[in-house]
Structure 1
Amino acid sequence: MTETTPTFATRRREELFDNLLDLFLAEGFAHLTLDEIAARLRCSKTTLYTLARSKEQLVRAGTVHFFRRATDAVEARVAAVADPRERITAYLSAVGEELGTASAQFMSDMDAFAPAREVYEQNTRLAADRVQELIAEGVRAGAFRDVHAAFAADLVATMMVRIQQRGVHTATGLDDAAAYRELAGILTAGIMA
């Protein structure tokens, strides 16, 4: 019996985070109280406190959960592709699709709430590092010209931040997913051997 208890608790915790994240992605979080979150998730506030000690910590933990889940989905897409150009396209397109699951309200709330914004910014830096790795792999394979991978990744990071901060949407009307697809196309065309 003791073997199944931790597994059940872990599964229940993961389910709660998934449901919490679905709520946040659909509606944002700034306007929700802990009482409203508990009611919407059909659990007690005590149960929420097992996830985090405050709403602020719950929002941060939910944001971390979002990026972990998104990273797993993105990396699964990249792992299924061998061609260097297609790997970068798969990576950036998948990032855009994952961010595309978030409502405008969630993105706005995340930008306005420093702990969540910091998680997003950290993940943007990690994504830029991953693009740099993918570019370097492509250069070594001879698929890309010998570009300065760190510069190309910095360029990508700059655009990712502009996408995150809704600057690209404001300037172009592109949603996040479309902006990432355009970024992938421009980047890969620019570095082809």
Structure 2
Amino acid sequence: MIDKERIKAAVRELLIGIGEDPDREGLLETPDRVARMCEEIFAGLHQDPKSVVKVFQEENHEEMVMVKDIPIYSICEHHLLPFIGVAHVVYIPRKGKIMGLSKLARIVDIIARKPQLQERLGSEVANVIMESINPLGVAVVVEAEHLCMTMRGIKKAGSKTVTSALRGIIKTDARTRAEVMALINGR
């Protein structure tokens, strides 16, 4: 679990380290605020995304299912700065085994709420879906702006990183993959 007292002490030290006075009025409550924030934004560290999966049987439905533009935010594990964007999740059910639509968004949210890499985020989401319902295929495309590229370093505000995790028929069949990408891109 999150150790809020340790986080508060670390934030206080960070403030001192950057030359700030942690006892000045505007910063007095900052360590506590940051500790509470960490509890929220890193909640995925202590939650199994499979715990939210709800499976339904829809007689022989094997047509594509997509939830598009799922808002995401996560924390880049390299710089501890946010990356913010959207995830598109697609799967093709096998023998009518489908998942509740909101559960796809919940899986994304849980996996994003920890120090993360965008590439891993998409792969973890795809793997949870594959393991939970064994669909014919899964695609997870994540588009995000990384504040570690916006606020520091190269300083390229507005640039987006796009990653994809493909499984099953969506990975192996070019026509299926093209259909998925066309739907994601709104064509």
Q: Same fold (TM over 0.5)?
A: no
TM-score (ref. length: structure 1) = 0.30
With a CA cutoff of 8 Å and minimum separation of 6, indicate the structure with the bigger relative contact order: 1
